[in-house]
Amino acid sequence: MIVNKPQLDEEGLKEKKKTGFEAHACARREKLLRSAKKTKNEQRIRQGGSRGFVQSMPLSWSASRSATGARPALGDRKSTVAQARMKNIASLAPICVTC
């Protein structure tokens, strides 16, 4: 399928170049800002010593799991699976009776 593009005059080409240039300049500025923020954050962590490093670390798996309350449920998972299986069998039972 061929698409007919409108032919731009000299003013249209200049405007097109200008908007493209502005878009690239804006993208470069945003990239520099992100880089500066990242560098600033890394320097803050380094200057904070071990305290800054520990504060910047995400919660460990065990801490995050125990905080959500998922830890106690791990011991109960087999019975939960068994209950789900029995419910599935019970839901299929009326179908088999009519066979």
For residue 22, being part of any structural domain is answered with yes
Please indicate, yes or no, if residue 66 is contained in any of the structural domains. Answer: no
In a domain, 69, yes or no: no
- Which 8-state DSSP code applies to residue 57? S
79 part of a folded domain:
yes
Q: Is residue 27 part of a domain?
A: yes
The range of the structural domain enclosing residue 27 comes to 10-61+75-97
In total, how many domains does the chain have? 1
**33 in any annotated domain:** yes
Q: Is the pTM of this model over 0.85?
A: no
**Does residue 85 register a pLDDT over 80?**
yes
- Give domain status of residue 2, yes or no: no
- CB-side neighbour CA atoms (13 Å) of 28: 6
CB distance 45 to 53 below 8 Å = yes
Query: CA-to-CA distance for 55 and 49, rounded, in angstroms?
Result: 10
pLDDT tens per residue, range 11-20: 888 888 888 8
Query: Does residue 3 belong to any structural domain of this protein?
Result: no
pLDDT digits (tens, 9 = 90+) for 38-71: 998 888 877 776 665 566 666 555 555 555 555 5
